[in-house]
């Protein structure tokens, strides 16, 4: 059996789609999204697609501060990606390397580290703020 499972390779087999136009949002190893701040120009964000990894790349002229709110949009159809679970969550569809479909929900507030991978009633949470946000959502964390 393959003892040397390569997590990076697994991540690359996972696909992310816009729930509205179904465009592929993962290019090479970055999830590409448009983020509109309340004021000023929009930002193209390159995000690490791994749940719980909050590494984000954007142009050096852009200013992002903790607590800043963004309206996330699909870069292809420009539809807003707001999650139906909460106004502060963003939703994209995800298909893992086994062809299973999930919803990935994460915070639209800069610096708020909470991500939920949801399939039916199964919720996996990631990030240091995840339990706090679960309370906010009225969801019950398993464990
Ligand atoms: Zn779209």
Cβ distance 107 to 133 under 8 Å? yes
Cα pseudo-dihedral 114, 119, 123, 127, rounded to 10: -20
Task: Kindly state the tokens that stand for 55.
Answer: 């590494």
CA of 25 to the centre of ligand 1 (A): 9
CA of 120 to the centre of ligand 1 (A): 22
pTM of the entire structure? 0.84
Is the confidence at residue 1, as pLDDT, over 90? no
Cβ distance 93 to 83 under 8 Å? no
CA of 71 to the centre of ligand 1 (A): 14
Distance CA 55, CA 53 (A): 6
Write down the mean pLDDT value for the chain: 87
Is the confidence at residue 38, as pLDDT, over 50? yes
Distance CA 106, CA 92 (A): 9
């Amino acid at each position: 059996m393959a003892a040397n499972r390569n997590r990076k390779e697994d991540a690359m087999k996972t696909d992310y789609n816009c729930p509205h136009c179904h465009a592929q949002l993962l290019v090479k190893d970055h999830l590409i999204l448009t983020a509109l701040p309340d004021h000023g120009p929009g930002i193209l964000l390159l995000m690490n697609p791994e749940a719980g990894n909050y590494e984000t790349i954007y142009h050096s002229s852009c200013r992002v501060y903790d607590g800043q709110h963004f309206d996330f949009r699909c870069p292809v159809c420009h539809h807003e990606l707001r999650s139906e679970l909460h106004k502060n969550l963003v939703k994209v569809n995800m298909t893992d390397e086994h062809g299973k479909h999930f919803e990935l929900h994460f915070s639209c507030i800069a610096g708020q580290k909470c991500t939920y991978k949801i399939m039916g009633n199964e919720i996996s949470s990631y990030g240091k703020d995840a339990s706090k946000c679960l309370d906010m959502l009225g969801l019950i964390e398993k464990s």
